[in-house]
Structure 1
Amino acid sequence: MVTLNDSLVSSATRKLPLRMRPDLSMRYHKYQGKPYWVIKEPIGLKYYRFQEEEFSILQMLDGTVSFQEIKDRFEKDFAPQKITLGDLQHFIGMLHRSGLLITGAEGQGRQLKNRRDETKRKELLGKLSNVLAIRFKGIDPEKLLNAMAPFTNWYFTKWAVMVVAFIGICALLLIGTNFTMFRSRLPAFHEFFGPQNWLWLGITMGLTKVLHEFGHGLSCKRFGGECHEMGVMFLVLTPCLYCNVSDSWLLPSKWHRAAIGAAGMYVELTLASIATFLWWFSDEASTINQISLSVMFICSVSTVLFNGNPLLRFDGYYIMSDLSEIPNLRQKSSKILQRYMAEYCLGLEQQDDPFLPQGNQLFFAMYTVAAVIYRWVVVFSILMFLNSVLEPYGLQVVGRVIACMGLFGLVIQPMWQLGKFLHVPGRMHQVKRKNILITLAILFVLVAAFCTLPLPYSVKCSAQVQPRDAKAVYAGEEGILTDILVEPGQKVDKGTPIAKLRNIDLELQLLEARSELASYREQLDHAKRSADVRDRALVPVAKVNIRSLETETIPRLEDQSNELTVTAPIAGTVIVPRWQKERPTMGEQLPSWSGSLMDKKNLGATLSPSDIICYIGDEANFEAELAVDQSDIDYVYPGQNVRIRLEPFTNQDIDGTIESEDAISRRPMEVTPEHLSFQAGGTIATETDPSTGVQRPLSATYQVFVPIQNPDRQLVRGMRGRAKIKAEPQSLGQRLYRYAMKTFRFDL
């Protein structure tokens, strides 16, 4: 019977119809003091790293040597090392599958096609598992970069880096020394991420990422590399460019490779620093101010959370890999963790792997754990952000589809890889019973703790504050504000004059009525003195008109004129209403007003009858109106403590307590509180009632009222913020279940 060894020996003397591709590019490097060869496959733009022994075998393949000849030459050149025919066959097969060898043997076309189809399937699977950053190959930008390089090389010199660093430090000092003012100038979440800013955010992200990728490409040219791939990438649904600078792996200097990896962040930090000064010194209402803030946010957040973080496979990861001189850091760290888990969880014996880092293996294993956890956090944060932005417009289904595709890469793909690992023939027979039982017991305890261990839990909701039992003082009539007769905080009695208005139309009507009265009186006097019968016949008509003007028209107009003096409906304290943003006027419209009508700057503004001048009540006693979603209302009870943080006071919390059952509405609100709807800048998704024009919540929402104190007189009616109601503890499993039910609730 012919054995495997016999077949290997019989074929060992046959010439191998395989030879190294002549178009491969090779560079000699040293990693951690050891010599390596980096090979570039120019068609697929793939890069490989080989030790001296492996590279020598690749060079021996010229189409005329046999397995035995390669084995003999290897053992002669690298004595006392030995290599078996099986290991040699396995290694040469790997070289062939990697596309580093060519052959004239028949049937290779079918194999190449199958290999291409498999590669395309893997690329498609990778896109589906990483839907938040999808790449599509594009053009070869080498000629474009060669044309641009002479004009940009100065930007990648040490002097330019020092200047950019100086500008960045100045920008940080500007923000740090004026941090309170900086925070006060930042817009609210709904304003910055509202639909009115989507276009600017999309354009800003696209352009900054284009410059980011050109930074990589031009820096690669600066240090002697090439760039043959630039395409389109959809980053969190936003189209932008990507630039493949894998050619930097051919550069011998790790500092040059790290500089190329950091070039994109270098460009973004330059943009963020300049944008900081433009935003700080420009008019808040200008377009340049809005664009500068978008540039600041996108460049700084993307650098800190994504590009600069080595836990994600972006720039920071490749910089860390280059400086530590450990190529494929993520794969090797994952391999180390897999070996640890296979050894301790399954009891599988592990052979030494010379290609893995031999020192600090625990650090690499923990790096993989941290990277996985951070990736989960980032993906869930992005999905929650997209859901919060899309929900007010009824586009939750888009967020849910993206969430399902994102979870595929986080859950399904690792489970599939675990199944493939265990499905290897004979693998399950090697698993030790003791190890698997201990592993299952630990997993059971962790799952049980996850599902049952209660942890502090709070119901989060929107809130606005308002005086308790306060009465609004309306303008009552349309007119021009001429005077404010009281000051905020002033004590007033019922009927005390609050403000004076002027209605020009009413004044003209009153003047016209008085003029008519004088005219009719003259007619009456003339008719009484006249001897003409026709003139005397006008006496009864004149008397009727005079009586109508004196008893009806003029008193009515005078009463309306008197009503233009607005008075207090009750006794109490004058409370300033919520500030109103400036409303633009068009054409010949009368001037509008902004801020508060108590401000002297608004004298002369035109008011409508429904405009609120102030409130009369007790300014020391306020209440917070909470809007609790239907999924949380069952967890709200009397006696629970509430912590409120209002938008104007981001570093100060207000505490309160739900006093009674009456403070909790058990019927959904029909009309959204005026300052909490998304259209008004709040966070509650609403729809406009076509018959009444009021804003109604899209999902059932309940009101909860919490009394709060205002001893410092800082609260103003209509201030909004977020509230946390301290509810009964819940386990993480309960929260995950409730979140899944809420997130994937499809309304048919």
Structure 2
Amino acid sequence: MKESHFSPNWYRVANLKLCLRNHVEIHRQQMRGRTWYVLQDAQSGKYFRVSPAVRDIIQRLDGRASIDDIWQAAAARLGKEQPTQSEVIELIAQLYRADLIRGDVPPDMDELVHRAGTQARQRFLSRYKNPLALRFPLLDPDRFLNRIMPVFRPLFTYWGALLLVVLGITGVVLAVLNFTALTSNLSDRVLSRDNLILMLLLYPVIKGLHEMGHAIAAKAFGGEVHEIGIMLLVFMPVPYVDASAASAFRSRWQRAAVGAAGIAVEFLLAVLALLVWLQAEPGLVRAAAFNVIIIGGVSTLLFNGNPLLRFDGYYVLSDLLAIPNLASRSNRYLMYLIKTRLFSLPNQENPAHSRGEQRWFIFYGIASFVYRLFITITIALFIATRFFFIGVLLACFSLYMALLKPTFNALRYLLFAPSLGQQRARVQMISATLLVTLLAALFYLPAPYSTRTEGVLSMGQQAQVVAGASGFVARVVQESGSEVQAGDDLIVLEDLELASTLELLEAQLQEFTASYRGVNLFDKVQADILNQQIARTRARLDYFRQRQQQLSLTAASTGQLVIPAVDELPGRFLEEGTVAAYVLPAAVREVDVVVGSDRVSLVSDGTLQVEVRVEGAVDRVIPARIIRQTPSSLERLPSHVLTARGGGTIAVDPEAASTLAPLGSYYLFTLALDEPVEQRLVEGRVYVRFVHQALPLGRQWLLVIRQTFLRLLNV
């Protein structure tokens, strides 16, 4: 041991004669070639993992030998692995707090009552200390599970595993083959009001089956399950079961199987739902199947199946790697590196026992912290957008647990940790220097600052061939892909009703004109009436003749004619205002760009230069400048290319009548290109970068946080 074997407080425990309580069992496990032992408290359902040296001390607590005798005898058996007196004192305190030992001290009823009350309060607080995940135990399902086990036990054989593998492969293949259909317009389908209600109804049911998978797997390998209840996860009721009995299983594969059972259940539900989704007609059943696919896939990927959070995936990974307490030991190893490599503190215990564990600890410690912080902030913002006052309080609590509390712990360590001793001043100086350097780098050194967005090549209004009047396509005059000149006829429409109206008006005009000539010299009053009728008829005739002229679609500019679906055009009815074709100019000099409301002021007032890259030729940077900006937010996007369904990044509002209505608030900027771009496609996509004045990274992050907060909360 690196620290002193002796403790000045040893006299307090040296003569105690202690023994384990009757409800404590010890289980042996193998982890990466090392032997570990698990203490099972059958009364409280808790499990404690200890090293062989600690187990050697614990198993000799028989009530006859004193603590000092046990410790002295351990020296001959354990050698260098013998725990120090301070470690033994800490061990006894932990066993005492967990109510795992009893001794020859005269019983103190007040102390016993106090310990019982303390344990009850700890159990209560453990359920309710996190307001984002409140637990309410309901009943003991062990007898029910015993009755249904004959039905599910075949699944825990080789044939059952083979069936699950076959179904899994089938589901993955079908998902890949139908990936486009599954993900097409995904955000619009998921965010619709009716779909969100259906998802909220399905989620607790799926999670209930998930938890039953854990319980059945634990029973299949000989464990017991004595608690089932409801947990409010971000205010959503979901079932849970206590399958912690798996912690005592000797085989790591059995422990991993229990942890993976819930993931397997959700994956199996997603596969079955995919089969239903492929066969069902559009309706409630198909919508429900789609939501099961989303819940079973997304929640497993982001939460339960993700080993970076301490859910099912974490325990599966920990068991498969044979690294117990992976999360806590990763954090301890990172602290060990800081203490030894940064602070150069001597006599520090390395929690890693091999190079393999060191690599895993570094990766997992950093990755889990980053991912946990990301998920925490996402959930916090989600709560704040739905429940403003309470949500903001819970969001602050979540951020405190993720960021502020670790910071306070670090400060407390630097100021009061006894282990620093005479090294405290040096460690504080190193920490202060690093902090000042980091703050200077974040808030003083300038860094590139820009806004990136997408847009489309603007062909201008003259490039669109729009039907001026409604009618059926009689003939296509020019071929698609041909070069046309301004004024050339392109498409001719016909409207039989309009033609009949024109013939009738011409006949009426002739009749009124003839009658006027007959009465003009004899009846002035009747002549004036006929003259007014003639004027009205001529006005109507001019209007409908103009409408007839609009049935001929002509080119407004010179360029290449592009007619979408030209083979289906003859005989097709075109409503007034429909874009029937495009006349692409030889070169484009304008770009339409959309910018979110959170960045519109910065782009409008703080842009130093604009860089444009055209899709298909992104290696070429084209300078541009802003020439126009819409004063109000867009009701319709300028092109389908910018929507999520068209390959862009903007989600459209599923409740809006228009398929181009954005879900958020966006503004339109028109850019003038300094260099012309050859027109390749109708509404070709461009990538735009607005360059702003350089800002330190810290200020950039603060601006992003502020803009995100204002955008999500509509403040």
TM-score (norm 2): 0.75
Quote the residue 1:562 is aligned against: 548
Quote the residue 2:700 is aligned against: 735
Quick check: 1:513–1:549 contact (8 Å CA) kept in 2?
no
After superposition, the C-alpha distances for 1:497-550 in whole angstroms (9 at most, x for unaligned) are: 4445565765675677689899999999xx99xxxxxxxx9xx79994997499
Match of 1:225 among 223, 226, 229: 223
1:335: how far off? 2.4
Secondary structure at the aligned position of 1:571 is classed as coil
Q: 1:222 to 1:323 in 2, by over 3 A?
A: same
Distance, in Å, in 1 between the alignment partners of 2:299 and 2:433 is 41
Distance, in Å, in 2 between the alignment partners of 1:714 and 1:55 is 74
Q: 1:482 to 1:160 in 2, by over 3 A?
A: farther
1:732: how far off? 2.7
Quick check: 2:29–2:250 contact (8 Å CA) kept in 1?
yes
Distance, in Å, in 1 between the alignment partners of 2:396 and 2:588 is 48
1:255: how far off? 1.3
Quote the residue 2:159 is aligned against: 159
Question: 5 Å matches for 1:552-631?
Answer: 552=538, 555-556=541-542, 558-559=544-545, 562-563=548-549, 565-568=551-554, 570-573=556-559, 600=568, 603-605=571-573, 607=575, 609-616=576-583, 618=585, 620-621=587-588, 623-628=590-595, 629-631=599-601
Stretch of structure 1 that moved more, 707-716 or 513-522? 513-522
Distance, in Å, in 2 between the alignment partners of 1:232 and 1:247 is 19
1:483: how far off? 5.5
Question: 5 Å matches for 1:593-672?
Answer: 600=568, 603-605=571-573, 607=575, 609-616=576-583, 618=585, 620-621=587-588, 623-628=590-595, 629-633=599-603, 637=607, 639-643=609-613, 653=618, 657-660=622-625, 663-665=626-628, 669-672=631-634
Q: 1:574 to 1:239 in 2, by over 3 A?
A: farther
Quick check: 1:642–1:723 contact (8 Å CA) kept in 2?
yes
Secondary structure at the aligned position of 2:353 is classed as coil
Secondary structure at the aligned position of 1:657 is classed as strand
Secondary structure at the aligned position of 1:714 is classed as coil
Distance, in Å, in 2 between the alignment partners of 1:343 and 1:695 is 57
Distance, in Å, in 2 between the alignment partners of 1:155 and 1:276 is 21
Matched, 1:110 2:114: yes
Matched, 1:336 2:333: yes
Q: 1:427 to 1:232 in 2, by over 3 A?
A: same
Long gaps (5+) in structure 1? 529-536, 578-595, 646-650, 688-693
Secondary structure at the aligned position of 1:632 is classed as helix
1:414: how far off? 0.9
Report the residue type matching 2:220 in the other structure.
Answer: R
Distance, in Å, in 1 between the alignment partners of 2:44 and 2:570 is 69
Long gaps (5+) in structure 2? 1-7, 654-659
Matched, 1:91 2:85: no
Q: 1:43 to 1:735 in 2, by over 3 A?
A: farther
Secondary structure at the aligned position of 1:672 is classed as coil
Quote the residue 1:150 is aligned against: 150
Q: 1:185 to 1:241 in 2, by over 3 A?
A: closer
Q: 1:712 to 1:563 in 2, by over 3 A?
A: closer
Quote the residue 2:324 is aligned against: 327
Report the residue type matching 1:325 in the other structure.
Answer: A
Quick check: 2:10–2:89 contact (8 Å CA) kept in 1?
no
Secondary structure at the aligned position of 1:415 is classed as helix
Quick check: 2:330–2:364 contact (8 Å CA) kept in 1?
no
Secondary structure at the aligned position of 1:227 is classed as coil
Secondary structure at the aligned position of 1:470 is classed as helix
Matched, 1:703 2:669: yes
1:47: how far off? 0.8
Report the residue type matching 1:459 in the other structure.
Answer: T
Quick check: 2:228–2:239 contact (8 Å CA) kept in 1?
yes
Quote the residue 1:186 is aligned against: 183
Q: CA RMSD in A?
A: 5.2
Match of 2:636 among 660, 674, 684: 674
Quick check: 2:453–2:688 contact (8 Å CA) kept in 1?
yes
Distance, in Å, in 2 between the alignment partners of 1:626 and 1:735 is 23
After superposition, the C-alpha distances for 1:691-730 in whole angstroms (9 at most, x for unaligned) are: xxx98998684624254877573333xx778644455655
Quote the residue 1:375 is aligned against: 369
TM-score (norm 1): 0.73
Matched, 1:408 2:400: yes
Q: 1:508 to 1:224 in 2, by over 3 A?
A: farther
Question: 5 Å matches for 1:503-518?
Answer: 506=498
Q: 1:76 to 1:209 in 2, by over 3 A?
A: same
Quick check: 2:211–2:241 contact (8 Å CA) kept in 1?
yes
Distance, in Å, in 1 between the alignment partners of 2:36 and 2:309 is 26
After superposition, the C-alpha distances for 1:88-134 in whole angstroms (9 at most, x for unaligned) are: 55433321211324695211223332344355446555x25xx4x66
Q: 1:572 to 1:271 in 2, by over 3 A?
A: farther
Question: 5 Å matches for 1:264-663?
Answer: 264-273=262-271, 294-350=291-347, 352=349, 356-360=351-355, 363=358, 367-368=361-362, 370-377=364-371, 379-380=373-374, 383=377, 404-422=396-414, 424=416, 426-427=418-419, 429-453=421-445, 457-468=449-460, 470-478=462-470, 485-501=477-493, 506=498, 544=530, 548=534, 552=538, 555-556=541-542, 558-559=544-545, 562-563=548-549, 565-568=551-554, 570-573=556-559, 600=568, 603-605=571-573, 607=575, 609-616=576-583, 618=585, 620-621=587-588, 623-628=590-595, 629-633=599-603, 637=607, 639-643=609-613, 653=618, 657-660=622-625, 663=626
